[in-house]
Structure 1
């Protein structure tokens, strides 16, 4: 039998893990500086968490990994988490609801079955959730945090695409559809399927006019949205509240100096969102997205609590972060060669080198010396230590570990 990994899954080699940790560390550092707190949820969650509330579409539910978790005489169907936000929301409802406003972040994998096995079935993401605040500033904070992370990784020129689920929901509510049909058409619109219009019928032409305009709506400023408001505020008063919210958010984004593109049919994968939706692109690569989901916590049995969040997609980011930016500099790597008689001294000096920030590797044979900035010989006779600087070929001979550290500190 051929030994191989499962289809649709991948291994991360040392170079890839270096990139992974670089992104993870940048994300974690930024979140902590913005006042967010790290959490982690189990890989397994009960299936009903995703089905009873309708938080995932039928299409996505057909692509989850689920099985029976036998517990005594009965079993409950569980899933490998297909989403990062819903488990964190469950954690908040179960353990943190009394805290009120809460800022959380996490790094997690999610699992989505894909039939061909050509696309990844395990996807890593960095996520942040801001729970308990319903303000335009909270939505903009999340966008600014996401951009802060990307900029700290050296990724500039990120394109921000904005949409607003509340606008589509406000108009669809006027068509008097049953909930299932309304949800289906809403998802089609967010996926950019304008043919869904053909399934809608209304004796009010202004509804079809408004919806057609929304699906074609593309602009770059709050002024564009104000023009849309002027066209429909009288005919469709339900349209006004979500549009005012969209305008307020866009004005704040512009005030911070961020460029954005408004495109209402750009919310694919955001089925449970209720307000603004943002997507982040580096070229054609989608590297992140998020938005507001005020209905999710009450749908899951919690109190009526507003919330918003985002995720950055590690798999895509790893292709964009240059390997050299994540590699340890050779100047910080030291190969320590020890003769058997002074093994204890060799371990001791290597430990002290690590304490002051060097990567100290004990020579076991077969090492490629061009991977190190220094080679330190530990001998049983004088001189006790010989430090070879690979950059210039200079050799220094000293008698103590303290002198070795002093030599390195002078370089």
Structure 2
């Protein structure tokens, strides 16, 4: 049974990492550096008479204090750091490497909690205490004190910077989750408004015609039949409009896929250049090219090992073209299942897909889909080919 004092509290570092088992293991792995507590066995010419009892007493105490700093409330970590630092000062005379090791751990523990300014003040105080003890009481050489102080400052600073970077990453993730939640809520509201506008008038009209046909049924059967036929026609038209609206909701489109690709690739530290002014694509082409683009971007993210990717979409009176490039490792072998699937989608549109890839020279996908007369009529007002203008920063747009 673990004593109640060592049971992790809700506000402890251990519970803070409950969803991150790797960080928990990492916190235990840091104890590997305690090997330097026994460094005098290797580096010292002769051990002092009190080295064994000093080490036997302080090392278990250090392990206990270090463990408490993880399982007790994180606001108490500073107190355990101070205790470890004082124990280090007291150990320097009897176990040189062990005392210095305790001081370095104390600086690391100072970074467990608090704002950066407070953490660095605590680290500076621990180092100042070490310098005073080593200089005034033990007469250590300045070079040795400076070296150990620099190591302690570096370890403590890395701990502070790492913790605050992790906090910023967590806050950024929460912000992204909130943006996605708000976007989903806005989309639900939009769909609700669209369906209301689409069905409200239509259903009211059907209701009125059915009421009228019920009243005319006994007096004028022909007029009642005519009203019911009109109500049936209105219902069929409403059903077609609902199907069209649902199809539009399900299809993400190339513009939405470009936004998703930017988020995916930038998260993987891949610079993404894409079209900022998209031509209005025919619906049948837009939906299928979006799926092809999704598969291509997924391949870049998972397999290409690229640092830069680019997507260009253009359309003229003859055809719609999309080019996807990356500077990744490329392939020498045949086409995989992903390329075959993309090729089948493009072929179903009557288009062609050209796949070019070579080892260490990247990959290029060129897709061309011919436009039908109906496509040209619907897209006549939006014809035009975008021009690539590289802009600074990740997720760059080419306008």
TM-score range for the pair, normalised by the shorter chain length: under 0.3
Larger radius of gyration: 2
From the two aligned structures, give the one with the greater strand fraction: 1
Q: What TM-score do the two structures reach when normalised by structure 2?
A: 0.26
Specify which structure has the bigger relative contact order, considering alpha-carbon pairs within 8 angstroms and separated by 6 or more residues: 1
From the two aligned structures, give the one with the greater helix fraction: 2
Q: What TM-score do the two structures reach when normalised by structure 1?
A: 0.26
